[in-house]
Amino acid sequence: MEEELWGPLDMNHSSYIWRDEFTFNVADGHRADQTLGREIRRLEREYAEGGVVTTIDDLAKFGEYVLAQITAGNELYLSMVEPQIDIRDYGEGKRMSWSLGWGVEETPAGASIWHTGAAGYFQAFIMLDLDSEKGFAILVNSENGQQIKPDLVTDLLGLNHLSTEYSPSALSR
């Protein structure tokens, strides 16, 4: 990752492993009941399922790069966002799928990709609208943080994206 992505993109504050320098750039977490949660997950080894520690600046650089690669027609990146597993068909041209690491939405308004992550009180969401070539990323320090997602998706991208309706239980529908 350092050689292929983080180094070339100048993502100096991203890692799979906790680094002591991160301690000075971490906010306190907030539990769902609004009490402070000071426990921070400090990974000591890489995990296949994820666990990236990053900053909003680095996450935005990553999103801009991925969007640029897809827009440029880079076959590797296009294959990464090709739907692999259907999550839900909403009818009327609306469908949500999983690709290789990204949620994929297809609606009459266009296609978008998104990814989400969570480690206790800390949550992340990134969404890239492939047709408008716009996107956004958020990092929150609250168990309730994903609740702001629907308004942000609508306000920032101007659309009611399917990701606002996604929950893991959608897989069983």
Q: Which residues of 136-160 are buried (b: 16+ CB within 10 A; e: fewer)?
A: bbbbbbbbebbeebeeebeeebebe
SS3 114: strand
Between 40 and 153, residue with greater pLDDT: 153
pLDDT digits (tens, 9 = 90+) for 86-144: 988 888 888 899 999 899 998 888 899 999 888 777 888 999 999 999 999 998 888 87
Count of domains observed in the chain: 1
Which of 18-32, 73-87, 103-117 has the lowest average pLDDT?
18-32
Give the CATH number, domain containing residue 77: 3.40.710.10
Residue 158's domain comprises 2-172
Please give the DSSP secondary-structure letter assigned to residue 15.
B
